[in-house]
Amino acid sequence: MLKLPFDPLERAEEVERQVMRGLSRKYYRFRPAHYYGGIATADQVGCCLLCAYCWNYRRNLYPQRSQSNYYSPERVASKLLDISRRKGYNKVRLSGAEPILGQPSFKHLYQVLEEITRANPRLDFVLETNGLLFGCYPQFAEALRGFNRLQVRVCLKAWDQQSFERISGAEGMHFELPLKGLTNLLQNGVAAWPAIMYETFGHEGIEKISQKLREHKIKVEELEMEYLEPYPFVLENLKQRSVSLRSLLNQPDP
C-alpha cells in the first residue's frame, strides 16, 4: 500500500520503469473525445501524482497491474492521425496520466510530436501535464519550443503546500514545481496555460493561486476552470483525504 505523502520525483522514476519498455509506453485506449471541440485522444497509464479527484486513479495507482499494451511513438501517432482523419478533427492529445515522468517518457512524447508534425503540420497537439517535471528539468521545456502547433495545459493541483499534499498525495514541499514548469514553458515560447479543478479550489483557493500566478508573472486571465466528475470512487477518495468540497467552496454545512 502506497504511503501518503510520497516524494513525487521518486514516484516518477518508479512509475516510468513500470510503464516504459524502451521508447514504447503503456496506453489503454485510443478514442475520439468531445473536449476542445473534438479531439483524437490517446489515454496513457502512469502518473507521479495521485490526485484524489483523478478519474483514472485506479490505473495510475498500480500502473504495473493495468491491462494495457505498449505502443511505440510511431504507432501512437498513427492511431491518433487515423482518428483525426476519420472524425475530421484538427486536434490530438495525450491524456489519462502524466506524459513526462523522466527522460525515456519525454523521448517517447518528443517522437510522437515529431511523427504527427511530419504527417500533418496543421494539427494542434494538446499536451495535458501536471508540470512537475517541467519545473524540475527546464531542458524539457526548452526542447519543445520548436513545435509551433503544441499547446500545453498545465493542471495545477492546489494553492499552497498543505492543499497540494492533501489533494495530490505528494509532499507539500514540491508545490512550486508545477508553477516553475509553467514558467519554463512560457519563457521558451511554448503556448501554455494553467488549469485548476474548480470544486477543490473554491473561491479562496482561486484567489490564492491567482496571487501565485502573478508572482510568477503568469497571466491570471488565462486560468482555465475544469469541473469535477463525481464518480463514487472519486468522492470516496476525497473523503479519505479529508478534502471537503463543501468547505473548500466556502458553503455552510446544512
Q: What share of the chain has pLDDT > 70, as a percent?
A: 96
Q: Identify the three-state secondary structure at position 151.
A: strand
pLDDT of the residue at 253: 36
Length of the chain as a residue count: 254
Of the given ranges (7-16, 87-96, 239-248), which has the lowest mean pLDDT?
Answer: 239-248
DSSP 8-state assignment for residue 92? E
CATH number, domain of 126, equals: 3.20.20.70
pTM of the model: 0.93
Within-domain flag for 236? yes
Task: State yes or no: pLDDT of 182 exceeds 50.
Answer: yes
Give me the domain span that covers residue 173.
8-248
pLDDT of the residue at 1: 64
**What is the SS3 assignment for 210-242?**
HHHHHHCCCCHHHCEEECCCCCHHHHHHHHHCC
Number of domains in the chain: 1
How high is the mean pLDDT of the chain?
94
Residues 79-116: pLDDT tens digits? 999 999 999 999 999 999 999 999 999 999 999 999 99
Task: State yes or no: pLDDT of 251 exceeds 90.
Answer: no
